[in-house]
Every structure is written in structure tokens, then in C-alpha cells.
Amino acid sequence: MTVLGIIGGTGIDQLEGLEIVDNHAVETPYGDPSRVLQEGRLGSTRLFFLQRHGSPRAIPPHLINYRANLWALRSLGVSDVVAINAVGGISAAMRPGRLVIPDQLIDYTWGREHTVDTGEHDTLMHIDFTEPYDRALRQRLLAIASEQAIAHEPAAVHGVKQGPRLETAAEIRRMANDGCDLVGMTGMPEASLARELGLAYASVCMVVNAAAGLDDAPLTLDAMRATLQREAAVVSQLLGALAAT
């Protein structure tokens, strides 16, 4: 049976229409998750929701306990995780306001606890990461977005940077040369840890700004938040329809 877990990013503190039925403070071998995990009902579907930046204080991307978050979701019986990420747009189609379901990623992060392979087990965790997002879960998201007439980009390369600072214009030019369409800070090691833990994982990205140097407008958090707010409603619609299937 599929049990859905949603990891909310910046701007997604709550899922519209989610009726909370329980809160779970989960202890994990890796320490505490970002916050208590909320168990709720969206329509008739039971699911779990976790805000990766915590609450009320925001945990920056490089300090998020990704291992604890995913371990906690799995321990509650979650099988499929949809992660929501706010990102900058690099390639022309990835304009602010766009919803994107990426199919590939490039990991530029460093110094994060990125594996549950502690070296103490008999087998090494050389997971196959050729396709970093779960194919079936991505297809479900794409089908639902089309059914619901939600405008979206059906594929993209998500470049994941360390943050918390934004990038230089030259860094974005290099990422474009590398083939990145999007730039974010929280997509890794979340995606690979999910694979290590046997969870199906896919991402829904909300483009909230043009990446550094691609637009004359200054990069301000206020402008990003305004775009986020508009996109959050569409993401909720997508997740609501996903939960109903």
C-alpha cells in the first residue's frame, strides 16, 4: 500500500485542506527531524507532512537533518515522498511562477551528512542513482498535472548548491554550461538518502526568481515570497489531486 509523505519547503508550511489528526515526535538514530511530523487527512487520504526548514525558526539548507527527516518518514510507514522545493530558474523556460517536475539533478553540495552507509554493514550502499527521481511517482505527478490542467515543465536538471547565500552570476553561467535548468539548495542529499532508505521520491519545484545575473531585478526575499505565495496554491491543488488517486 502506498503511504504518501510530503516534505514542504520554503513557503509551504501547511498543506491547504490538510486536516491534522496527529503529531509525531520521532526519535531517529541520526537525531531529531526538522520538527514534529504531522499526520493528516487530505480528502479521504491519510498522509504525513514535514516542513524541512522546521518551525518556528527556519533551519538553513546546510543544517537540515536530512537523514533524520527521511528516516522519520519511513518509520511512520511512508512509502512515497513528494518534496517541494523553491528554486531559481536558469534556462529560458524556467521563468518565475513556473512549476517544474525535474527528472535529473547535479549535486554541488558539500559537508552534509549525505548517506546512511556508516561502514558498519556487510553491504556497501552503491545505490543506482542514474535516475535520481522515482520514475513511477514522477509519471503520476505528470499525469495529474496534465489532468488538472496545471501548467508545468515536465523535465529539468536541478542543480543543488550549498547555500545559504545565493550564487554569483559566473556560478550560474557555469551551472548553465553544466546543463542545469534550475538552482536550489535543498534537493540533495534528500533525494539520494530517500533512495538509500528505499523510499520512492520525486520533487516538485516552484521557480521563484530568475537565477543570479539573468535578470535586472535585484534578488530579494520579498519578491521570492510573493511568487511563492502564488505558486503554493497550485502546488496544493496538485498534491490534493495526487492524494485522491
Residue from 64, 175, 185, 191 binding ligand HPA (CB under 6 A): 185
Q: Which of residues 17-76 bind ligand HPA (CB under 6 A)?
A: none
- Strand 80-89 relative to strand 99-100, pairing: unpaired
Query: Distance (Å, rounded) from C-alpha 244 to C-alpha 202?
Result: 17
Near ligand HPA by CB under 6 A: residue from 49, 161, 199, 202: 161
Give the binding-site size for ligand HPA (rule: CB under 6 A): 12
Looking from the CA of 237 toward its CB, the CA atoms found within 13 Å total: 15
**71 is written with which cell numbers?**
528516516
Q: Please, what is the minimum distance in Å from the beta carbon of residue 152 to ligand HPA? A: 17
Contact region for ligand HPA (CB under 6 A) — 38-46, 62-70, 182-190, 231-239?
A: 182-190
Q: Could you give the residue ranges of the DSSP H alpha helices within 1-91?
A: 66-75
Which one among 18, 68, 72, 86 touches ligand HPA, defined by CB under 6 A?
A: 86
Q: Buried b / exposed e across 209-239, counting CB within 10 Å, b at 16+?
A: bbbbbbeeeebeeeebeebbeebbebbbbbb
Contact between 88 and ligand HPA per CB under 6 A: yes
Q: Report in angstroms how near the CB of residue 228 gets to ligand HPA at its nearest.
A: 9
Note the residues at the interface with ligand HPA (CB under 6 A).
86-88, 161, 166-167, 183-185, 208-209, 211
